[in-house]
Structure 1
Amino acid sequence: MSVIIEHKTKKIRDFKLSVNNDLHLVMDNIKTFRSIDKDFVIHSDHGFQYTSKIYIDKINKMAGTVSLSRVENSLNNREAEYWFSIIKRECLNELDYSKITLEDLKKIIADYIFWYNNYRIQSILNWKNTTAICYDVKIILNC
């Protein structure tokens, strides 16, 4: 799974799921990504997908900056690491994968993300959900 998380609001902006964790998966995810910021930063770990020239060139072409965490330091990529631990604990660990298709799994994840963005409150967001924080940010930035 490739996921795009908005730093300020913790909102899950998009995800792609594939049986292969490869460059195609990541490129497919950023292909449809539209940043709300003109100059955005995409942060990731040092996976081969994120250090490839094709990926870096695409982000640069979109006026973005690639930021890589320090080697063997998952805390630098904590938002993604945190989100993956939450979705596993609250959703994915309970599934019987022998009884669902990839399309079923995509729907389950999409439904979970909708719930996560719109209803799940977070202490880091002063006990609000990501949608409320997005609204607050837009008001503050006068957009």
Structure 2
Amino acid sequence: MVKMIALKCPECGAKLQIEDGRKQCFCQYCGHKILLDDGNVDVNVTHTYHKVDDARLKEAEVEKLIRLKELEIKQKELDRKAKSKTFKAKLGIIFVLFGIILIFVGYFAHDENIVYMGIASCIVAMYIGILSLVGDDDKKEDSK
């Protein structure tokens, strides 16, 4: 038969039953670590506190989730800006090709108006290219 000793938790005051001969135990109610001396209960025993602050743990978890969500939102915004710049660059390339084709067609057809439309298309392409490099998105960030 195992001999048990009665013990009172110095932290919460709960009554505990501990096997005789143990050097330490934890309170089953508050988690307080109790160090025993030769199986005898001593008032002057050193106590190591083992408390878990559930509210602080929850707060840390919530802060971590908020930070992850903020990073996710920033990443989506960066992806959106990259797609916008890619679209503008593709549009600029299309206008350049269209302009070059118009210039050649106008030159071989001896039609100045078609050549001017090709030049205008190339100018529009340069404007779109500048927008894709500089972009209006950067101005919005500066105003924030």
TM-score, structure 1 as length reference: 0.21
Say which structure, 1 or 2, has more relative contact order (CA 8 Å, 6+ apart). 1
TM-score, structure 2 as length reference: 0.21
